[in-house]
Structure 1
């Protein structure tokens, strides 16, 4: 647990939730923080105000927000240097709790991820953004992982997909894994 969350005292735990949330959801302003913690605007501004000196304001990918000073350098790292490639399962917590999801997924692919009746697809995540969807099934003793990237999947992305599929196979106790890449237009 982050030591700032363990300080105790009435109300202090909530006011100290700012740093861990900002680290997890970077970069965010009070509006996005408000959507996650369920407090009003004034309370979120107070939380961010108490972090004075620990945060920086700025604009990243065209979005204004607040970021922990310790995380600011990570925003400017080259693609693939921090977050890498991940295969996230359906309903992964990374995809939940965001009123505005444009920082996660392009509007053109929104309905492929956030489907009817509240279903959320398993996704291919590249550097913190949704870059495709995936599914899996078994064919005998082989686990087949089908990934549909929304764009070109370069060598580093394909390598990350293979690693994620291997991990899934290990978790499902199916060591024989085959990965297929399908263009997003074909299903």
Structure 2
């Protein structure tokens, strides 16, 4: 009998420990792989859900813009900054309404309105979304917990293709435009405190 070779009870115990170690290793690798897949799929689901909300709000703005343009007293400029969630008759689970803090909870939307003169009937402001994780939203790369904002603005026939509306370029509809919270919204937020 070879002295280095384990036999009998000691050999069986060694074989069981080796099988247990291999089994635990395989299960660990599979669990790690499945957790990566789960994380990737939750990121894709959040990305699709947020882009779907933006698409539905944009569709509602197209309809609202057409209604305003077809009405005799319609003024697209008066629609700038409106809350697009009010245009869709749907109970949004992740829409918190008016923002109660500087940003909504992760994975939620809110409407940050700014103070207006007493003569203005509607609150005007920004639509804000705070992603749960890093996603691509509206062709922008997001960071988890950092809010993104959009504002309802007017589209116009840009005749000279400079991207800026001149006096002779008439508005043609409504759209959601990305807004930088640090540049445009910060002074308004400070004014409300």
Q: Do the structures match in fold with TM over 0.5?
A: no
CA radius of gyration, larger in? 2
With normalisation by structure 2, the TM-score equals: 0.25
More helix by share: 2
